[in-house]
């Protein structure tokens, strides 16, 4: 009886409540609904993310449900792994080629049986949003509904309406940025442009493989950068020239930003001799961990100088201890859900860069954090003062309703709304893009509604801010 009622209840209510994430208090909820109605259908501007440009270039059908929704999503497999499910059982390829599960239906069933692990996580909300809005599913995913889900999703993925370009249009994506290495020839970006399709897919310059001396294959990457750019990348001047050339090439394929994923936000501004000596050590491979860190910090300042010339917006994504689990890293490689946030300092770390460029009005440096304690103590005061600095939205582990709410609570009173840059979906999970933007719009409307009912903001202003946060700030700050 209880089970039947639960199942019927889920079915009649569907997977999505129209008031989800809105305030519980009725007067604030009413304001939130009105604000949301004004931004719900705005186009999506996605200035930072990790979708594969090949999808838009080839416009081929996506693979089976597991291959699209489970196997590539580190949010999903890190949770399953934490509960004792081996990555092999989820079809994640091993570097040594040893066998892993290849039957997508089995992988899907394993995921469905464990869907309860995602209760009250953003992953659950993103997936339910896609299940309901794209696949017309209205019962909860579970062991009992695994087959229904698999068949429905597989069936829909075969339709022309589920090709990448059709979905791009359905999602109302006005522009989306990918994340690309300087060593990438951007062939898919070229193919997209040559195809005559109108979707705006922009490259973004992520030079970690040739900037971080501790990146796998760094020394070979330097050589390849030299071949690609025609510059002598073993001399510091040639190396900087190579970056300038690659940035110009990326810009020609739509790039408006660079992005830097460093362990810390450290910046440096060394004199000419010290820079050259440091670079020589890096090239020779005789550097210490401290020198590698110093070099990354120096390169952030060099990149800021280049941004001032070429207009690329500079994003800093610091504070992740990448590949924290060495056994997993050895067996499966990078990006396996084993990246863990670290405490981060910004006040000291950014000072060398800010001493040189902090007062530039034509430079945009967007700083992110995985250390929420830094928001009110460091980041909001910095961004609320320096003209070049802006705060990126709640990121990664905090790209969640509570994370977004905390971001606004900890930054707004010092930095306001206009030293923030709107939302980043930051995803490789294509089908979750509308869900993520919808979540951000709802959370911001809820936050604004609370300000309206406590008479800190007039409702007409709140409507304007909601629109800015959902659309205008991302478009303008990222120059998209």
Rank residues 47 and 401 by Cβ distance to Zn ion and give the closer one. 47
In angstroms, give the least distance from the CB of 220 to Zn ion.
Answer: 24
Rank residues 261 and 401 by Cβ distance to Zn ion and give the closer one. 261
Pick from 290, 268, 265: nearest CA to 374: 265
Rank residues 49 and 91 by Cβ distance to Zn ion and give the closer one. 49
Rank residues 123 and 412 by Cβ distance to Zn ion and give the closer one. 123
In angstroms, give the least distance from the CB of 470 to Zn ion.
Answer: 20
Rank residues 370 and 469 by Cβ distance to Zn ion and give the closer one. 370
Pick from 110, 164, 100: nearest CA to 142: 110
Q: Which of residues 107-126 bind Zn ion (CB under 5 A)?
A: none
CB contact at 8 A, 447 and 408: yes
Distance CA 108, CA 356 (A): 52
* Two tokens, residue 329: 């890293």
Rank residues 137 and 300 by Cβ distance to Zn ion and give the closer one. 300
In angstroms, give the least distance from the CB of 426 to Zn ion.
Answer: 4
DSSP designation for 205: B
Question: Under rule CB under 5 A, how many of the chain's residues touch Zn ion?
Answer: 1
Give me the DSSP letters along 264-282.
S-------HHHHHHHHHHH
In angstroms, give the least distance from the CB of 391 to Zn ion.
Answer: 16
Rank residues 115 and 368 by Cβ distance to Zn ion and give the closer one. 368
CB contact at 8 A, 39 and 470: yes
In angstroms, give the least distance from the CB of 132 to Zn ion.
Answer: 26
In angstroms, give the least distance from the CB of 83 to Zn ion.
Answer: 26
Rank residues 339 and 444 by Cβ distance to Zn ion and give the closer one. 339
Q: Is 302 in the site for Zn ion (CB under 5 A)?
A: no
Q: Is 34 exposed, middle or buried (0-12, 13-18, 19+ CB in 10 A)?
A: middle
Rank residues 287 and 423 by Cβ distance to Zn ion and give the closer one. 423
Q: Which residues, including other chains, have CB under 8 Å from residue 137's CB and lie 6 or more apart?
A: 15, 131, 148, 149, 152
Cα 319 from chain centroid? 14
In angstroms, give the least distance from the CB of 170 to Zn ion.
Answer: 23
The radius of gyration of the chain's CA atoms, rounded to the nearest angstrom, is 23
Task: Give me the helix-helix angle, 433-453 and 122-135, nearest 10°.
Answer: 120
Pick from 234, 203, 189, 154: nearest CA to 58: 189
In angstroms, give the least distance from the CB of 312 to Zn ion.
Answer: 16
Site string for Zn ion, 410-439 (x = CB under 5 A): ----------------x-------------
Distance CA 371, CA 128 (A): 28
* Closest chain position to Zn ion (CB): 426
Distance CA 376, CA 170 (A): 38
In angstroms, give the least distance from the CB of 455 to Zn ion.
Answer: 38
Which residues in this chain contact Zn ion in the complex, by CB under 5 A? 426
């Amino acid at each position: 009886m209880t089970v039947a009622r639960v199942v019927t209840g889920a079915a009649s209510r569907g997977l999505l409540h129209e008031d989800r994430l809105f305030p519980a208090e009725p007067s604030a909820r009413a304001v939130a609904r009105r604000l949301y109605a004004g931004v719900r259908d705005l186009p999506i501007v996605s200035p930072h993310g990790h979708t594969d440009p090949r999808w838009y270039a080839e416009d081929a059908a996506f693979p089976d449900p597991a291959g699209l929704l489970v196997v590539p999503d580190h949010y999903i497999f890190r949770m399953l792994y934490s509960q004792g499910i081996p990555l092999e059982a989820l079809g994640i390829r091993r570097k040594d080629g040893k066998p892993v599960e290849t039957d997508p239906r089995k992988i899907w069933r394993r995921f469905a049986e464990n869907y309860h692990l995602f209760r009250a996580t953003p992953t659950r909300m993103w997936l339910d949003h896609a299940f309901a809005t794209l696949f017309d599913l209205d019962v909860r995913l579970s062991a009992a509904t695994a087959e229904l889900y698999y068949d429905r999703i597989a069936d829909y993925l075969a339709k022309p309406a589920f090709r990448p370009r059709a979905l791009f249009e359905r999602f109302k994506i006005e522009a989306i940025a990918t994340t690309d290495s300087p060593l990438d020839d951007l062939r898919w970006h070229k193919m997209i442009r040559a195809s005559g399709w109108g979707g705006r897919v922009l490259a973004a310059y992520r030079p970690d493989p040739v900037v971080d001396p501790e990146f796998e294959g760094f020394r070979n990457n330097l050589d390849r950068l030299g071949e690609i750019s025609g510059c002598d990348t073993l001399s510091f001047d040639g190396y900087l020239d190579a970056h300038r050339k690659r940035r110009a090439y990326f810009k020609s394929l739509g790039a408006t930003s660079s992005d830097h994923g460093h362990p810390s936000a450290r910046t440096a501004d060394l004199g000419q001799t010290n820079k050259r000596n440091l670079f020589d050590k890096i090239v020779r491979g005789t550097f210490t961990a401290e020198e590698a860190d110093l070099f990354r910090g120096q390169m952030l300042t060099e990149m800021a100088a280049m941004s001032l010339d070429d207009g690329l917006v500079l994003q800093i994504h610091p504070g992740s201890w990448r590949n924290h689990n060495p056994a997993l890293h050895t067996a499966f490689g990078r990006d396996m859900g084993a990246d863990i946030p670290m405490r981060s300092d910004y006040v000291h770390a950014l000072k060398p860069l800010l001493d040189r460029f902090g007062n530039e009005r034509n430079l945009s440096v967007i700083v992110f954090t995985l250390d929420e304690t830094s928001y009110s103590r460091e980041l909001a005061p910095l961004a609320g003062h320096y003209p070049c600095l802006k705060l990126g939205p709640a990121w990664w582990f905090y790209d969640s309703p509570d994370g977004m709410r905390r971001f606004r609570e900890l930054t707004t009173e010092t930095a306001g709304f206009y030293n923030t840059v709107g939302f980043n979906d930051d995803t490789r999970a294509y089908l979750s893009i509308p869900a993520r933007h919808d979540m951000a719009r709802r959370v911001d409307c809820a936050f604004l509604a609370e300000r309206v009912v406590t008479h800190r903001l007039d409702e007409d202003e709140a409507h304007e801010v909601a629109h800015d946060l959902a659309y205008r700030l991302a478009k303008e700050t990222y120059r998209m």
